[in-house]
Structure 1
Amino acid sequence: MRLVQISDCHLHADPAARSRTGVPHRQLVRVVEAVASWRPDMVLVTGDVSQDETAASYALARRELDRIDCPWFWLPGNHDEPVLMAECRAFQESVDLGQRRLLLLDTRIPGQTHGALGATRLEALAERLAEDDRPTLIAMHHPPISVGSRWVDALGLADAEAFWDLLATHQRIEAILCGHIHQAFEHRRTTPHGEVSIYACPATSDQFLPGAETFAVDEAAWPGFRVLELGSDLSTQVVRVEP
């Protein structure tokens, strides 16, 4: 199975609206064209679909994503308005990947840039992990680990250690896919049951400069997406697209 991750589209109602370094809608169109050429079995969008939190921005995203000939799913980020987003296309809490499963988490805190799961969502996650023993992928917007950039890390998952404490009690957590950081990122964290891989992908909109102490855009980096091949093992690569 081939899974493609897209993230951080930051669309406006006006498709001609500009971001810091380009036109988000135009860049999404080009990313979607490239994704379609890979013939994925599924596409996952890990949040911040909208910049202006309008119904029109979600309609634009759906129109473009529907061009890919496969099922696709999304989850909200800190810039999203989840009610409008769900009205455009319903959220899914889990997706059957055959020999694996994918759990989609909402880490958004209304009015905040950083994220958290909180006790209720952590409890719900524990129940979902316990009900199936297949290898599990977890998708979320906010990264549950430091990415080596002080300003980004301050806006990550506030209760990350509680999240990892929970994962430590469950076997067969294979990987975590997150958005929010607008850059390609890979890391592995050791748990009592083995290593868990953490992946993020380039934004379809602006890219953030890796390792920056304060906010900085990487003007040289192109938009992109992550391809994951889910066979007997998991392999992955990042693909860049000329904006």
Structure 2
Amino acid sequence: MRLIQISDCHLHANPEARSRCGNPARQLAAVVAAADALRPDLVLVTGDISQDDSEGSYRLAAEILARFDCPWYWIPGNHDVPEPMNAVQEVVAEIDARSWRVLQLDTRIEGDVRGEVGEEQLAWLQQALAEDDRPTLIAMHHPPVEVGSHWMDEISLSDQQAFWAAIDNAPQVKIVICGHVHHAFQKCVSTAEGSVVVQACPSTSDQFLAGSNDFAVDEASRPGLRVIELQSDGWQSWIERVEV
């Protein structure tokens, strides 16, 4: 099972609108073309699809994502608005990935750039993990760990400890993927039953400078995607960069 993660598209309804460093719609189209050439079985878009809160931005995203020859799913980020997003394509919480299982969390907080899983979703997550012991990948927008950029860590997941407590005794959780970071990132977290790898991928739009104390754009870096090969006896992952 080949899963591809893309993230942080930051689209406007106007496909000609620009970001700090380029054209988000054209960059998303280029990333989707490169990703589709890798023949994925499943695509996850880990939040911040929209920049202008418009239904038109989600329709534009869906039009581009429909070029995939496989199912694709998305979750909201702090820039997203659930109503127009779900009007275009509904967010789902669970995806069957053959010998694997994907669980998607909504970490958006209304009116706040920070994220939170929340007690209700944490309870659902624990129940879902208790019902199925297949290897599991969890997708969310906000990273559940510090990523080494002070300003980003200030706007990360506010209930990180509660999240890790909820999965501490769930050895089937192997990977957590997140958006929000706008650059490639990986960290291994030890749990009571083993370890979990947390990964983020480059944005399809602007890239953030890794390790920066203050907000900074990495103008030298390129958009990209993450490829995750889910196998019955393990998994592997890598980043692909895309020329735009």
Same fold (TM over 0.5): yes
Aligned to 2:142: 142
SS of equivalent residue, structure 1 residue 127: helix
- Name the amino acid aligned to 1:241: V
State the Cα distance separating 1:169 from its structure 2 match.
2.4
The C-alpha deviation readout for 1:75-113, integer Å capped at 9, x for no partner, is 000000111101100111100111110000000001100
Aligned to 1:111: 111
State the Cα distance separating 1:195 from its structure 2 match.
1.0
Aligned to 1:94: 94
Give me the identity figure in percent. 53
Residue correspondence of structure 1 range 183-198 to structure 2 within 5 A: 183-198=183-198
Distance 2:128 2:47 in 1: 21
Aligned to 1:32: 32
- Name the amino acid aligned to 1:233: G
Q: Which runs of 5+ in 2 are unaligned?
A: none
SS of equivalent residue, structure 2 residue 109: coil
State the Cα distance separating 1:172 from its structure 2 match.
1.2
Distance 1:72 1:118 in 2: 25
- Name the amino acid aligned to 2:234: D
Aligned to 1:230: 230
- Number of positions where the alignment pairs a residue of Structure 1 with one of Structure 2: 243
Q: Which runs of 5+ in 1 are unaligned?
A: none
2:238 matched to 1:241?
no
Aligned to 1:122: 122
Instruction: Please identify which structure carries the higher strand content.
Output: 2
Residue correspondence of structure 1 range 41-120 to structure 2 within 5 A: 41-120=41-120
Q: Which moved more, 1:205-214 or 1:113-122?
A: 113-122
CA RMSD of superposed structures (Å): 0.6
State the Cα distance separating 1:171 from its structure 2 match.
2.1
Q: TM-score, normalising length from structure 2?
A: 0.98
Distance 2:19 2:226 in 1: 22
Distance 1:91 1:242 in 2: 30
Aligned to 1:209: 209
State the Cα distance separating 1:128 from its structure 2 match.
1.1
- Name the amino acid aligned to 2:41: D
State the Cα distance separating 1:129 from its structure 2 match.
1.2
- Name the amino acid aligned to 2:77: G
Distance 2:229 2:118 in 1: 31
- Name the amino acid aligned to 2:20: R
- Name the amino acid aligned to 1:42: L
The C-alpha deviation readout for 1:184-238, integer Å capped at 9, x for no partner, is 0011001011110101000000000000000000000000000001112110110
